[in-house]
Chain A
């Protein structure tokens, strides 16, 4: 269970951005979490309220965009979800792929003023 540590890191980065840009309020934090990022969106959502309580972000909403674990087949260039297809290309049954998304854990944007 490492999601709480990750949420603290998110708050730290957002807080840095807020101070740097003299914002007064953050309405929403938008995260992009890849399916292979080792962070589970539901757990992030669960521990978020605890992490922001007693901070300036206690009323800030959290929005999570899930990014698929997509691979591109090295044989036929088909793009497919490697989790759903168990790493095997659904078009040509190739097992070699280049990962093109899924490992992200980004703070995409914040909404505020």
Chain B
């Protein structure tokens, strides 16, 4: 029997993911397509927020959505009805999307004629943030009923995103949710994050959010 030897590899497990994600950004840039990764808990209003966003922007740009869920295509139908091109991905139980799965979604969607694509990640505050999907920007949505203590409990997602949308502000009075306390907790983790309070249902604050998207796309 041959003698056992130690071979040093020292390779980060996410190195390949990062490579695919960087390639994705290059491909998207070559088509002039802007990809935004949207993450949140289940039920925070990701799909409703996207529908409001699509309605606000669809006259000025072509929009696509990659929906990722464990099962069903209810979200893809919803955003399609709002006027976006959509594909539904199923992760079969997996709790996040990685760069390879995202690329498959991009290929299926076909982004050549799209200006803006949203990746609606799996509803989960923990796993998705660990994976670079290839998006240009990362956004988290936190809804008022979830509570202002979530940055304390799930710090990683709040520390990594470019924008934090606080959704369902129309029901704020019924909940013990303090926006200033939330902001203080989030800033401790991420001093540069842009916090945008909205109600996807009433449309309140959507203008600030879509203006941010417009500005980002200008400098892309």
Contacts and interface: CB of A to CB of B under 8 A. Distances in A.
Contacts of A111: 4-7
A107 to B, nearest CB: 5
B120 interface: no
Given A2-B95, A38-B130, A104 B3 contact: no
A23 B2 CA distance: 11
Nearest to A6: B13
Chain B's interface size range is: 20 to 34
Contact of B3 (A105, A109, A110, A113): A113
B128 to A, nearest CB: 9
A17 B15 CA distance: 14
B9 A110 contact: yes
A13 interface: yes
B178 interface: no
B13 A109 contact: no
Nearest to A1: B95
Interface in A1-34: 1-2, 5-6, 9-10, 12-14, 17, 21, 23-25, 27
A17 B2 CA distance: 18
A107 B10 contact: yes
B18 interface: no
B16 A9 contact: yes
A112 B5 contact: yes
Contact of A23 (B7, B16, B95): B7
B1 to A, nearest CB: 8
Contact of A105 (B4, B13, B94): B13
Interface of A: 1-2, 5-6, 9-10, 12-14, 17, 21, 23-25, 27, 38, 104-113
29 contacts: A1-B93, A1-B94, A1-B95, A9-B16, A9-B17, A10-B13, A13-B11, A14-B9, A17-B7, A21-B7, A27-B4, A38-B127, A38-B156, A104-B12, A106-B9, A106-B10, A106-B12, A108-B8, A108-B9, A109-B6, A109-B7, A109-B9, A110-B6, A110-B7, A110-B9, A111-B5, A112-B4, A112-B7, A113-B3
